[in-house]
Structures are given as C-alpha cells and as structure tokens.
Structure 1
Amino acid sequence: MHDTRISQLKKIIAPFEKTNTMSSIWQLINTLVPLIILWYAAYQTLSVSYWLTFPLLIVAAGFVIRTFIIFHDCCHQSFFKSRLANDILGTITGVLTVVPYEQWKLSHSIHHATSSNLDKRGVGDIWILTVDEYLSAPLWKRFAYRVYRNPFVMFGIGPIFVFLIQYRFNRKGARRKERLNTYLTNVLIVLLYAALIWAIGWQAFLLIQGPIFFISGFLGIWLFYVQHQFEDTYYENEDQWSYVKAAVEGSSYYKLPKPLQWVTGNIGFHHVHHLSPKVPNYYLEQAHNSTPPLQKATTITLATSLKSLRFRLWDEQGKRFISFKELNAFYRKAKSATESI
C-alpha cells in the first residue's frame, strides 16, 4: 500500500469517530445484565452439578471480555462524549475486569503510539526480540525469553501474574491520579469479592469466579497476542516507522464467527481500531466495510491464528516472524561467519 494512499485512510474513517449515547447504553445493558444473570445462574447450578455450572462460566468469561472492551473504549474516550462519564465507567468496569483504569489507559496509549516500532518496545506490549538480539544475548536472557514465550507460561501463568499480581501495583514514577485510581480499584475489588464471599461462601465463590477469571484472562491475552503476532506483520526502526502502516499492516483483521465477534466487541477489526482509536467498538465493522483498502489488511481466522503459537523472533532481514526451530539456520550461519574470521 503506497504512502500517499495510506495517508488518506484516517480521513476516510473520520465519520465513524463518533459516539452514539444510545448504542453505548444499550451495549452496557446487553453486557452487564447477562454477566450478572450468568454469575447467579452458575451459583444456582452448583447444588445440582458442576457439569452444568462450567459451561455457564465459559459464557460468563466471554461477557467479561465484552466488559473489558467497554473498559477499553472508555480508556480511549470513545464510549461516551463526556470524559467524566468515560472515567467513571472505566473505573467501574476496571473493577469487574480487575484492571486499574488510569494505569492501563496510560500503558495502552503508549502501545498505540509505539506499536511495531522496534526502537520503542517495552510498554504495553509483548516482549519481542529480533534474531540478532537473541543471538547476541547472554545465556540467561535467552533462557528467560524462551520461558516467557512458552505458550504454557504466556497463556497459563500469564493471566494470573498480569491480572492478579502486576495490576495490583503502581509503576515506578506513576502520577498521583494514577496511583489513587489503582488503590481505589484494589479496594473496590476487595469489597466486591468480600460481599460475594459473605453472601455465598468462599468455596462457591472460588468455584465460580476462579474459572471466569482465568478463562477471560487467557482469552484476553490471546486476543492481544494474535492480533499483532502474525507472520508478515509490520516492524520498523524509528527512522522508517509509520503510524498508519503500523496500524493497517501491523494489526490483523481477526475474522471470527459472528457470535464470537459480538462477544469480543468487534475487537477483531484491530487494524481499524489502531488506525483510529476514537472509533467506538460498535462502529468498527462499519468502518471496515466502508473502506475498501482496510479490507486488504491481513486476515486471520480461528484456524490460521493457531499458527502464531510458533512465532518467536522477528527476522529484520526477512521482515517476518520465525520459530525457534527456524532460528537454528540463523545460528549456524552466524557461527560459520564467526569461525571464518
């Protein structure tokens, strides 16, 4: 896609950068009400059979993801016209998704501003090393990176560490507003969970909230991972980096079945979202369908997205992700070059 053409895309989708208050309120209703009903229904079925309970928990976890999308739009000030309304709702939905609003809003804005920029990695994104960086790294760093990129660690331990531990603490140098919001979120989570434990008992609470927390956390990390980790994605150094190219070529269109697309709040149209975060989630599909160039973005499906599990390192020469298995060829080449000197 030529630079001249791609630079016009933001202008084309500008009409979708608007908030519809009624659509936002309706989305709140059709997200939070089913979540509450599913949670209560799961509790009622505990006395019958956990085989009845668990399917409800899976569906409830999907609605937690949908709640997070509302939280996410609030962070971009795209859910309501009022900044105050976005901040209040963002904090409330942050409690429900155990994510501090101000802390995540900042790191996510940095992610948008630096996505696919090789010189500005490290905030709000997944740890990525290039082939050259990995080959020149000390043994301990290579080991740490392999552990980090292991699917069991990233999607199994990751949700527990990130949502349960990391988000409970402020980053170094956090401003007062951010620190207070993290404290408020933690206190409200404790109060909410204490009330539920008082009402139904700690065993029932863990049997319900535990799986919901883990499944929604796993799915959340998977969605974030897969929409930037595809084979021919876009990465460049600062001097060659383009915000628009990073959005359209560095973010995928995750084409999901309609029910999953609805539950995940259209976040599969990630290329549209990165191009313009001001587009509310309920307009992302329209923006995609109304803009032919955006329809040429890399499309992945449930089946093809599984291939991303083997992507580990960014090959700057080939402009693509490679696996650790493919790395062996690079290692032998580098070793031969060293020995010939």
Structure 2
Amino acid sequence: MTTSIVKSSKLGGDDASRYSTTLNDSGLKLKHIIKSLPKECFERNSTKAWTILAVNILMVALGYLSLVFSPWYLLPLAWIFTGTALTGFFVVGHDCGHRSFSKRQWVNDLVGHAVFAPLIYPFHAWRVGHNYHHKHTNKLDYDNAWHPIRPEMFENSSKTWQVVLKTFLTNKIWWVGSVGHWALIHFDPNNFLEKDRPKIKQSITVVAIFAAIVFPTLIITTGIWGFVKFWLLPWLVYHFWMSTFTYVHHTAPDVPFKKANKWDEAIAQLSGTIHCNYPGWVEFLCHDINVHVPHHISTAIPSYNLRLAYSSIKENWSQYLHDESNFSWSLMKQLTDECQLYKEDSGYLTFKEYEASKQ
C-alpha cells in the first residue's frame, strides 16, 4: 500500500505541488477497513449504553448542584464542568442518531430527543444533516459539518460577511462556530429534503416545548441571572467543545479537502479524520468522542467500542493515519493562525498571504 500523507507544518505557494495525497493505487475501499475490525466493535451492549447514560445524568446533576452551592469565585469551574457534562448528553444522542445506542429505533429516537432537549438541539435535524457529513467527509462543496472558506467565497460575500468571516477566522473565536451552525441550519425544515421534514418539525416542536416550559420557569424562579447561570453559560461551554471537537477532527495544515472527482472515500475517512488526545476528565465526560477515526470508518460502532476499534485501525492501517495531536492552546493557535482560507489544490493560506497574492 503506497498511500501517504504529506506532513509539513506549512504548505502553500512553492510548496503547493507537495500538497496532495498519493493516489490510492492499492484499490483500498472503506469496506476493506470495516472487515478488518474485530466483530466486537459493532456489538451494541445495552448494559453499557444505559450505564453511560445513567453516569452522564449523574454528572450533569452534580454539575448543577455545584452551580447552586459554589461561591462566586468557583462558578467558572462549575460552568466548565457542567457544560462538559452536557456535551456528554450530546455524545449519547450522537450514538442514538447513528442507531448505535439501541437496537430499537424508537428507543434511539426517544433517548436522542431527551438528551438533546436541554441543548435546544432538534434531534432529527441534527441526525439527518450529520449523516450527510459522514457520506462526504472532507469533500469540497459537500461536507456540511466543517468546510473551510475558499477565497472565491470570501470575495463574493458582502462586506459585512467578509468582516464577520475574517474576524471569526483570525481572532481565536472558533468556539462560537457551532452556535452559528446550530442556529442557521437546524430550525428551518426547508434546509432538508421533503421526505425528512415531518421528523424535522417534530424535533423542533420538542425543543420548543422544552424551552417554553423550562426557560420561563427558570427566569421566574431565579431571575435573568439564574437563566444565564444555570443554562446559558453551561450551554456556551457545551458549544465550545462542539466547535472544538468538530474543528480539530478535520483540520490541519496538511489535511486536504478534495473536489468530488478527486475525492477518495477510504482515504478521506482514514487520513482526513484526526485523533486528538484531551485531558482524561474531558474524555470521560464526553465518552471518547475524540477517538474519532473509527467513527468515520463506521458509524455503527458505539462510543464505548471506539478505543477497541482505533487500536485495530492503528495496527492494520497506520500508514494511512494522520499524526495524533494533543489538545492545547498552541494547537488551537496553529490551526487558527494557519488554516484561515482554503485554495483548491494548494491548501490553506492566511489572510495575509491571500491579500499579498492579490497585489
């Protein structure tokens, strides 16, 4: 097998010719990788699934208790803990959306709606859109989870949007990205195929009912500050992790996005998905969602089997894998400093490089 990924720290300009993957001349298909995984990776264990959910509920409850009893100077820690535990709710719903939580579809839908409701996330809207991401990972003009901004898109945007995009991409505010994604896409049934719209509307109704009951009750009993303290700030921490996980999973200076006619499914899922190690408490509360390569090989793998699957993938397909990374401020600084715009067949460039090229 001859596929390899160029791993230079910075690519562009004279280095453009190096920005590519070697052709997949081995005939590698996604099904070959899936068949190499131990069968245990795909086994749904109801005891493990419900135990994870029960532990997650306990962690969220502990988080809210800490918000009730913490002195003001410990509230930031309580918000971080509670928001991270709420991210665990999302990961449980993530399994439900991929039908890997339970063998029964109605259980997946019920639990998915229940854990997504506190996040004000329409379950079916996310499920349908996210499955599309898996079919088109790192494919230019198709991937809808994270898609780099191309110079031509930036140029064709209004002045207002240019300011917004440049501010977002250059000022270390990647962590609000999923808020925009959540707000602009998931509450409009017209963003989805007609056959999916009834379920989309059902999920929107669920979160609307939740918000109509919980938000006024929270404000009446605890005031505006209570709403901010008990819901808004933990919710923003949750979106910090959502944005960060999504961004880091598929972004590096040397990870290519390909047009459809040059895109290779097996290579995109193996090499275009990056394993990043986070602090142990984050990985525990978020149920190993960072172990993301096997999830892109097969969405049928439950979260509690991701590490087993990843061990097998590293053993059998290590030559295709991108280098692992460790979550840190320096990592996020590198990504946001270098991965600002994306030029087809050349790779990422900064706004300074883009502006210099126009002179």
AA aligned to 1:92 is A
1:317 aligns with: 345
1:170 aligns with: 189
8 Å CA contact 2:118–2:210 kept in 1: the answer is: no
Q: Provide, for residues 77-109 of structure 1, a one-character-per-residue CA deviation record: whole Å limited to 9, x for no partner.
A: 111111111000000111022210011111111
2:102 corresponds, among 50, 64, 80, to 80
**Residue 358 of structure 2 aligns to a residue in which SS?**
helix
With over 3 angstroms needed to count, the CA separation of the structure-2 counterparts of 1:74 and 1:289, relative to structure 1, is: same
TM-score (normalizing by structure 1): 0.85
Q: Which shows bigger deviation, 95-104 or 186-195?
A: 186-195
AA aligned to 2:33 is L
Structure 2 residue 33 is matched with structure 1 residue 9: yes
Shift of 1:229: 1.4
1:182 corresponds, among 184, 192, 204, to 204
Structure 2 residue 272 is matched with structure 1 residue 246: no
With over 3 angstroms needed to count, the CA separation of the structure-2 counterparts of 1:44 and 1:21, relative to structure 1, is: same
8 Å CA contact 1:249–1:298 kept in 2: the answer is: no
2:113 aligns with: 91
Structure 2 residue 181 is matched with structure 1 residue 149: no
**Residue 4 of structure 1 aligns to a residue in which SS?**
coil
In 2, the alpha carbon distance for the partners of 1:182 and 1:68 equals 16
AA aligned to 2:27 is T
In 1, the alpha carbon distance for the partners of 2:282 and 2:272 equals 22
Shift of 1:18: 2.2
8 Å CA contact 2:38–2:312 kept in 1: the answer is: no
Q: Provide, for residues 135-188 of structure 1, a one-character-per-residue CA deviation record: whole Å limited to 9, x for no partner.
A: 8646746545424534455434x4554446764443445512211221122112
Shift of 1:223: 1.2
1:62 aligns with: 84
1:305 aligns with: 331
- In the TM superposition, 1:97-112 aligns within 5 A as 97-112=119-134
1:336 aligns with: none
What RMSD over aligned residues (CA atoms) do the two structures have, in Å? 2.6
2:232 corresponds, among 210, 232, 235, to 210
In 1, the alpha carbon distance for the partners of 2:232 and 2:158 equals 36
Gaps of 5+ in 2: 4-23
Q: Which shows bigger deviation, 301-310 or 235-244?
A: 301-310
AA aligned to 1:331 is K
**Residue 67 of structure 1 aligns to a residue in which SS?**
helix
Q: Provide, for residues 94-125 of structure 1, a one-character-per-residue CA deviation record: whole Å limited to 9, x for no partner.
A: 1022210011111111111112111424xx32
Percent identity of equivalent pairs: 17
2:298 corresponds, among 276, 280, 283, to 276
Shift of 1:257: 2.9
- Relative contact order (alpha carbons < 8 A, sep ≥ 6): 1 or 2 greater? 2
AA aligned to 1:170 is P
**Residue 321 of structure 1 aligns to a residue in which SS?**
strand
AA aligned to 2:326 is T
8 Å CA contact 1:159–1:214 kept in 2: the answer is: no
In 2, the alpha carbon distance for the partners of 1:212 and 1:162 equals 18
Aligned length: 324
In 1, the alpha carbon distance for the partners of 2:157 and 2:213 equals 45
1:130 corresponds, among 127, 150, 171, to 150
Q: Provide, for residues 55-76 of structure 1, a one-character-per-residue CA deviation record: whole Å limited to 9, x for no partner.
A: 1221111101111111111111
Q: Which shows bigger deviation, 294-303 or 94-103?
A: 294-303
Shift of 1:189: 2.7
8 Å CA contact 1:163–1:217 kept in 2: the answer is: no
TM-score (normalizing by structure 2): 0.81
AA aligned to 2:64 is W
Shift of 1:42: 1.2
AA aligned to 1:125 is A
Structure 2 residue 137 is matched with structure 1 residue 115: yes
With over 3 angstroms needed to count, the CA separation of the structure-2 counterparts of 1:224 and 1:138, relative to structure 1, is: closer
2:279 aligns with: 257
Structure 2 residue 250 is matched with structure 1 residue 228: yes
With over 3 angstroms needed to count, the CA separation of the structure-2 counterparts of 1:135 and 1:211, relative to structure 1, is: closer
In 2, the alpha carbon distance for the partners of 1:187 and 1:163 equals 18
2:58 aligns with: 33
**Residue 290 of structure 1 aligns to a residue in which SS?**
helix
In 2, the alpha carbon distance for the partners of 1:256 and 1:225 equals 14
With over 3 angstroms needed to count, the CA separation of the structure-2 counterparts of 1:168 and 1:153, relative to structure 1, is: farther
Q: Provide, for residues 276-319 of structure 1, a one-character-per-residue CA deviation record: whole Å limited to 9, x for no partner.
A: 1111111111111122245433312113531111211223333x
**Residue 99 of structure 1 aligns to a residue in which SS?**
coil
1:290 aligns with: 312
AA aligned to 2:262 is Q
With over 3 angstroms needed to count, the CA separation of the structure-2 counterparts of 1:322 and 1:299, relative to structure 1, is: farther
